[in-house]
Amino acid sequence: MLSLQKILLLHVLACLGRLAHGSDIIHGTKAPENSMHYMASVQNNMGQHVCGGFLITEDFVVSAAHCNDSSLTYVVLGKHNLKNGNHQKIKIENKIIHENYQQVGLGNDIMLIKLSEKVKLGHGVEIIQLPPAEINLKENQVCQVAGWGKTKTHGKPVDELRVVNVSVITSKNCEEQWPGLPANVICAGGYNTTKGFCQGDSGGPLVCHGFAVGVVSFNYYKNCTYPNKPNIYTDISKYRKWIDEVLRKKKRLSKVI
């Protein structure tokens, strides 16, 4: 059963992916040039930022399933400033969405993007490690979330990548704030603090100890400035097998071709 609250939430969220400029990081700082080289900007056919993502192999980027729409065309890697021309802009070859994904807010919000060619690693582009199938995030553990999303609820998107520290919230505490929370999510930031993500940050990583443990999925209504419920991420450790399987299949396919 969906509560009214949840239906409203879903409505808002359903719009998130379609907003050309999604959420920005709230109360963050500019990401240092020498950090987070795995960050990807997923863009439409006009070269506008739609969602975040992160590079996990030379030709695969992880993002959120709710970021998918028919306009997605490019992945941009290697530059924190999207206005700077010196980056790798690669065409999307294929998008693979988790088979159980239905709608943002209902879980399984994960998408793999296959690039049409391999990126050149180095010079501001690198891969981020995925967590093992079993991870143990501790309450209040400090992690980072980054993105080119809005920096306040009704704000404008940014050109410079921004990053903010957020604390992990236990699923027990999170479920108290979010009755009916989907399975396989991580809660961090956005509650009891004014730090978190906003529209446009969707698809970006939650980074703990150098591992990409979560994918930015949804927040409460569009209220990013003082959200009163935790921010929700897809728990990547729960999708390790699915990711590995997709990568294996693609490798086999490309060998056949």
Ligand X SMILES: *[C@@H]1O[C@H](CO)[C@@H](O)[C@H](O)[C@H]1NC(C)=O
Contacts with 23 (C-beta within 8 Å, 6 or more apart), sequence order: 16, 147, 149, 150, 197, 198, 199, 200, 201, 202, 216, 219, 224
Contact window for ligand X (CB under 6 A) among 46-54, 64-72, 125-133, 207-215 = 64-72
Which residue's CB is nearer to ligand X, number 129 or number 228?
228
- Does the annotation mark 235 as catalytic? no
Decide: is 152 part of the binding site for ligand X (CB under 6 A): no
Decide: is 142 part of the binding site for ligand X (CB under 6 A): yes
For residues 74 and 90, is the Cβ–Cβ distance under 8 A? yes
Decide: is 27 part of the binding site for ligand X (CB under 6 A): no
Which residue's CB is nearer to ligand X, number 56 or number 198?
198
- Give the footprint of ligand X on residues 179-208 (CB under 6 A): 192
Decide: is 173 part of the binding site for ligand X (CB under 6 A): yes
What is the C-alpha to C-alpha distance for residues 18 and 49, in angstroms, rounded to an integer?
Answer: 11
Minimum separation from the CB atom of position 223 to ligand X (A): 4
What is the C-alpha to C-alpha distance for residues 172 and 59, in angstroms, rounded to an integer?
Answer: 37
Which residue's CB is nearer to ligand X, number 224 or number 236?
224
Decide: is 103 part of the binding site for ligand X (CB under 6 A): no
What is the C-alpha to C-alpha distance for residues 187 and 194, in angstroms, rounded to an integer?
Answer: 14
Beta bridge partners, 61, equal 55, 113
Decide: is 228 part of the binding site for ligand X (CB under 6 A): yes
Candidate residues 70, 86, 132, 134; the one interacting with ligand X per rule CB under 6 A: 70
The one catalytic residue in 59, 109, 201, 235 is 109
Radius of gyration for the chain, computed over Cα atoms and rounded to the nearest angstrom: 17
Candidate residues 92, 165, 242, 246; the one interacting with ligand X per rule CB under 6 A: 165
Instruction: Count residues near ligand X (CB under 6 A).
Output: 15
- Does the annotation mark 109 as catalytic? yes
Candidate residues 33, 69, 93, 245; the one interacting with ligand X per rule CB under 6 A: 69
- Does the annotation mark 159 as catalytic? no
Of the chain, the end-to-end C-alpha distance in Å amounts to 46
Which residue's CB is nearer to ligand X, number 100 or number 226?
226
Decide: is 68 part of the binding site for ligand X (CB under 6 A): yes
For residues 79 and 87, is the Cβ–Cβ distance under 8 A? yes
Which residue's CB is nearer to ligand X, number 73 or number 87?
73
Candidate residues 46, 133, 226, 244; the one interacting with ligand X per rule CB under 6 A: 226
Active site positions, annotated: 66, 109, 202
Residues near ligand X, by CB under 6 A:
29, 68-70, 95, 97, 142, 153, 165, 173, 192, 223, 225-226, 228
